[in-house]
Structure 1
Amino acid sequence: MSVVRSLWWAARTDGQPPFDTAHLKVYYPAAVADTDAERLTGVFEADPAGAPYPVLLFLSGVNVAQESYRRFAIEITAAGFAVVTVDRVGELFGGQRGLTPGVELDAARPAYYGSRPTCPVIAPILESLAELNTQAPLRGALDLDRIALGGHSAGGTVALQSARFFPSVAAVVAWGAHTMVATMLGWAPGTVLQAQVDSPVLLGVGTNDGVINGSADRYGQDDTERHDPVTRTFFDALPDGEHLLAVIDGANHFGIADPDPTAARAFLDGHGQTSAIAPFARLTALFLDAHLRGSADAAARLAVFDAVPVKRR
């Protein structure tokens, strides 16, 4: 019998101590052996039946704890993948500290954008996962040559801005994320940056995304000239490819998460009550199956997926 289990790991990243450590939670399909070791430690070996498992590295939004994505991660893992979420307290804007996926601001400025990842955290996390993959209970269970880079909000944005710099990344998944860029970085108002991707992209967004709407002034747009930055990213910022845009009616910015009401900006979301966890997880699992495993069956099912409205490119 296979069940979803998880373990904790860590990676040393950029930044000054103590703000230089990413704490990882790795979800994986595990085999139940009913042994004394399982009973005494709570540690279950990875299920060898489906190993090695393609990996989804999922980066959090700003001040959104990785536990907020637990239900989403479990759904994806149950479909036969390993999912890695991240907590990293580091520098935010204006000298503040908080949970952040990690952003190198200079890499997002006009003079340097497209020359390197905007997220310096990805490389050390992948290196740390390679170390984890050499020891129990995950020895050889992670397929680090078949990776999807994903994220929510700012985490999704840096995934879109960084994916092509990592040859093992074969798919990108983002919820409530886009590549419209802040004018404070030196860009003209309303600029949508070209995504740095060489692989298929799945974008998801809810119709009640109050956080994106509440951030429009960062991009130099007023109420009369606002354009949905997620839709613009999908149509204007992605190279030709097998891309999907899922728009879930009634869902909000935190539609795939269980937000903490004491942190982040879920208070901007207003009316959105529709959970996108189940439908977006189903769509994500099919997307990963098609593009990480090359499953013809998943590709066929993806082509007719209608649980939520999906635009295709």
Structure 2
Amino acid sequence: MTDVRAFFTAATVPGEPEPWNSLQLKVYYPSAYSDSADERNMGFIPAAKPEQPYPVVLFMPGSNCHPEVYSWLAKGLCELGLVCITFSWIKEDMPGFVSLSPGFDLRYLTPDSFGKAPSCSSLPTLLDAIEKLNSEGLLAGLLDTNKVIFGGHSAGGNAVLLNSNREWFPQLIGGFSYAAHTGASTQIGFPEDTLLPVDGSVPMLIMGGEQDGVIAASANRYGDAEDSTPTERIGRTFDEALDSLRGDCHLALVRGANHFCFAHPYDGTTGRPFLDWPAAGDESELRELMLSIITDFIAACIGTGDHANLAELANHPQISRYACK
């Protein structure tokens, strides 16, 4: 088993007003303890030296989801031979509403501006941080800065779906999301039932849970008069909004999984957990399944696996729908 360690760093987002311009990063990596004096005194454990530089996963959090709730995922990805970065950004996405945010830039989420530039202002800063990490410190020279995967949950998954574009981010080789779709809010001027397009220039894995009460209860944002099903818009995002026929884009809908089983252990004092439905089944087993799907997808993206391997999900008893295109 890989000994996974992590360290903290920070980065400033250009153009953002103080005090809302600082990202706090937690960088998870495979380590190799050598019992040196520095390690014993300071706790900074050297990285394990890889045969090939480590690809990097940038994970985008859900709104008001502290990055520690994704530690289970980050550790699992390090087991695959990756470095995973989670982060927190306390940000005023809308006037008067301060929250932990993946970093939406509402200037590029309107009908007139969407698609003209990235709509997630944290991403350029995070990618610059990867370059800095590769130039100094514990991970210097150990990162493959041309193999970056975006991942995200809930609002963070939406940020991944809307910003996984190689024209904007040429180092991107794949993206994955859970509990997210590209439905566009009528409050910012989009017509009812609008689905924003997913670029499709990189492999994508779109996942959802059949017990997602948060998505079901949020349908009014998109013009629905009543609650929708938990996965309708997730499935339609794959079917209608994602343009790809390469065979490397996947949809996996998980029986029993709700919105926040992906965030563990979840702090219910913030966010909208009161909208969620109970998970059906053992949540730890659901996370193990989702981790295995994500690691198979990333392995295919970095060349150590095959996208065809995910086709086995079509016969998995816990998967209500699998599709590939």
TM-score if structure 1 supplies the norm length?
0.94
1:263 match: 270
Q: CA deviation at 1:273?
A: 4.8
Q: Quick one: distance in 2 between partners of 1:197 and 1:43?
A: 39
Question: Is residue 219–residue 228 contact of structure 2 (8 Å, CA) maintained in 1?
Answer: no
Q: Quick one: distance in 2 between partners of 1:225 and 1:304?
A: 29
1:312 match: 324
Q: Quick one: distance in 1 between partners of 2:150 and 2:307?
A: 19
2:238 match: 234
1:302 match: 310
Change (3 A) 1:150 1:21: same
Q: Quick one: distance in 2 between partners of 1:254 and 1:302?
A: 24
1:3 match: 3
Unaligned 5+ segments in structure 2 are none
Q: Quick one: distance in 1 between partners of 2:212 and 2:179?
A: 8
- Within 5 Å, which residues of 2 pair with 1:54-203? 54-164=55-165, 165-203=168-206
Identity fraction in percent: 33
Alignment-mate amino acid for residue 137 of structure 1:
L
Change (3 A) 1:29 1:224: closer
Alignment-mate amino acid for residue 107 of structure 2:
D
Q: Quick one: distance in 2 between partners of 1:79 and 1:224?
A: 39
Unaligned 5+ segments in structure 1 are none
- Within 5 Å, which residues of 2 pair with 1:206-245? 206-223=209-226, 228-240=232-244, 241=246, 242-245=248-251
Q: CA deviation at 1:34?
A: 2.3
Q: Quick one: distance in 2 between partners of 1:301 and 1:212?
A: 29
Higher relative contact order (CA 8 A, sep 6+): 1
TM-score if structure 2 supplies the norm length?
0.91
1:33 match: 34
Q: Quick one: distance in 2 between partners of 1:299 and 1:202?
A: 10
Count residues in correspondence: 311
The C-alpha deviation readout for 1:202-221, integer Å capped at 9, x for no partner, is 01111110111111111111
Q: CA deviation at 1:234?
A: 0.7
Change (3 A) 1:260 1:225: closer
Please state if 1:248 is matched with 2:239: no
The C-alpha deviation readout for 1:268-306, integer Å capped at 9, x for no partner, is 112125423211111111111111x212x4445333345
Q: Quick one: distance in 2 between partners of 1:180 and 1:224?
A: 14
C-alpha RMSD of the superposition: 1.8
Moved more, 146-155 or 37-46: 37-46
Change (3 A) 1:45 1:224: closer
